Structure 1
Amino acid sequence: MPYLIFVSLLWAFSFGLIKGQLAGVDSGLIAALRLGLCFITFLPLLFWQRGNRNALVLMALGALQFGVMYIAYIQSYQYLPGYLVAVFTIFTPIYVFSLNAILEKHFHYQHALVVLLSVIGAAIMVVQSVNHESVLTGFLLLQVANLAFGCGQVLYVRYCRSDPAANTDKPSSDGVNMIWMYLGAALLASSYTIVFGDFERMSLASEQIWVVLYLGVISSGLGFYCWNKGATQVSNTTLAVMNNAYMPFAVIFAFTLFGEEVDFTRLLLGGGCIILSVALSVLMQKRYDSYR
């Protein structure tokens, strides 16, 4: 849980930073640079643990969880205003929970209600009246992004739990897993940018370079590592609801650090629902463990 809480704070801050500092830069370039920096940051770990017989599997997982997610997420901005992007990202917990239920062939309706509570809480904070063209296209693109990120989390957890060679108890082993995932994602994002990128918007000012370095090394590199590490340490339900845990923090940072207007009634109601969903998921897991 501490890993997931830390990343929720990290990503909540990053949303405002992207909006304020990288407007006008080709989004594909930003994604490719961030994922490339992720790979470079973790590359030295190969000196401690060389090779991985499942490198191709991990590259495919990374291309799905990070590469496909970023590409679809980026494309959605061509069809949606920013607030609707936030609205349509709230469904990731449903995908995480549903995929786990399908793979485990067992459905817990109580856990489903907890996940639904998390989605309702996020919706309370970000949903506004929809009045924009091409909403359906943008919505579908974001569901591709949500599904890719959610499936990547679930499949990585199952990979680590089923393959002793993953050995995620050792930070270096877990880091080597992420190297290959970042490489797969970076290759996919770079290929997309080369083919579909807007080369007229691929220049960066000096301050923007620092922002990209922070986003690539800290927000994405450290963030994705800690998220996947944390995902292996919590229940499926807790992992699902934590996918919306960044939203209360994002709203708070938007007000305190970036001077945006905030509806405090929505913040309290929505944030309360999310906090309650997380608490219930942890309580359910403790109760389940006590009966084992």
Structure 2
Amino acid sequence: MFYLILVTIVWSFSFSFIAVYLSGQVDTWFAVVMRVLLAFLTFVPFLRLKQFQAKPMLLLMGVGACQLGIMYFFYYNSFQYISVPEVLLFTITTPIYVTVIYDLLQCHPLRLSYLFTAVIAVIGAAIIRYDHISTEFMIGFLLIQGANMVFALGQVGYKRIMELYPLPQHQAFAWVYLGAVIVAAIGWLLFGNPQKLPTTNVQWLIIVWLGVVASGLCYFLWNYGATKVDSGTLAIMNNVVIPTGILVNVVFWHQSIDWPRFLLGSAVIVGALMLHYHFKRRRLTQSQSS
């Protein structure tokens, strides 16, 4: 749980960094390929070719292609159609995808208690961030839903792969980033605009920070943390970045906010987490007594 909280704090800055310093100024595909390439280079020293079989290696690369490569295609392009508050709002469906995909991969019937707490977290996030929807809302909404789906598939798939193939995670994650680099590089070659490269030191610094810290270190810690919690906790933690992201925007970029709604929505999200733990304890008690 500690790792998920730490990563959430770091990621809270990413929304504002991208919107303020990169969106509309730096080519989307260049920003994406540099981000995942720097993340990959961070873990190259841990790459061990002889210690991996082909199947888990390809599965891990598929996780990276989904969770990072394809996700960033949807995510970065969404800023061309919707605002940062709308991006934050539309990410609230991620917990539902996490819960449903996890149960499908495990061949389990859908656990309604997990889905119920995830929906409560969605309601809490919606209370916090519901603004006027722009005319291009449908395109942006669909792009973010695509990002949510592949992000959920990637992190749940990683959790499942590590359950089936207990590999050293600092080594396994090099393959994850390699899969992301391949997808992002193809996107850059096909759709990139070499005329829109970074022009300031701040933009380069943001790209390096997003690649080495937000992606390289934090995605590793997030997926590592995902292996230490159940899918219900993981689903709810996906929404915690919404209030923290808004708080960062308010404190550092002085965006106005409806504080009563912010506090109410945050309380609902915390309540969802507490309710989930209640369901979990009750289920463990029932299994021990049976």
TM-score, length-scaled by structure 1:
0.91
Structure 1 window deviating more from structure 2 (31-40 vs 70-79): it is 70-79
Aligned to 1:170: none
Is 2:113 the counterpart of 1:110?
yes
RMSD, matched Cα = 1.7
TM-score, length-scaled by structure 2:
0.92
Query: SS at 1:127's partner residue?
Result: coil
Gaps of 5+ in 1: 167-172
1:73–1:142 contact (8 Å) kept in structure 2? yes
Q: In 1, Cα distance between the equivalents of 2:188 and 2:258?
A: 37
2:15–2:84 contact (8 Å) kept in structure 1? no
Q: In 2, Cα distance between the equivalents of 1:143 and 1:209?
A: 29
Deviation digits for residues 251-278 of structure 1, max 9, x if unmatched?
2111112211121112101111111112
Gaps of 5+ in 2: none
> 1:1-292 residue pairs with structure 2 within 5 A?
1-23=1-23, 24-46=25-47, 50-53=50-53, 54-103=56-105, 104-133=107-136, 135-164=137-166, 166=167, 173-290=168-285, 291-292=287-288
Q: In 2, Cα distance between the equivalents of 1:224 and 1:158?
A: 16
256 and 203 in structure 1: CA distance in 2 versus 1, 3 angstrom threshold = closer
88 and 250 in structure 1: CA distance in 2 versus 1, 3 angstrom threshold = same
273 and 209 in structure 1: CA distance in 2 versus 1, 3 angstrom threshold = same
Q: In 1, Cα distance between the equivalents of 2:94 and 2:130?
A: 15
Q: Please tell me the residue identity of whatever aligns with 2:124.
A: G
145 and 4 in structure 1: CA distance in 2 versus 1, 3 angstrom threshold = same
Aligned to 1:169: none
Q: In 2, Cα distance between the equivalents of 1:126 and 1:189?
A: 30
Q: In 1, Cα distance between the equivalents of 2:45 and 2:118?
A: 38
Aligned length: 283
2:159–2:226 contact (8 Å) kept in structure 1? yes
Q: In 2, Cα distance between the equivalents of 1:20 and 1:31?
A: 16
Which runs of 4 or more aligned residues in structure 1 lie more than 6 Å from their structure 2 counterparts after TM superposition?
none
2:198–2:204 contact (8 Å) kept in structure 1? no
1:3 offset after TM fit, Å? 0.8
2:16–2:84 contact (8 Å) kept in structure 1? no
Identity %: 35
Q: In 1, Cα distance between the equivalents of 2:8 and 2:240?
A: 6
1:56 offset after TM fit, Å? 1.8
Q: In 1, Cα distance between the equivalents of 2:252 and 2:281?
A: 36
Q: In 2, Cα distance between the equivalents of 1:289 and 1:42?
A: 38
1:280 offset after TM fit, Å? 2.1
Q: In 1, Cα distance between the equivalents of 2:210 and 2:103?
A: 33
1:142 offset after TM fit, Å? 1.4
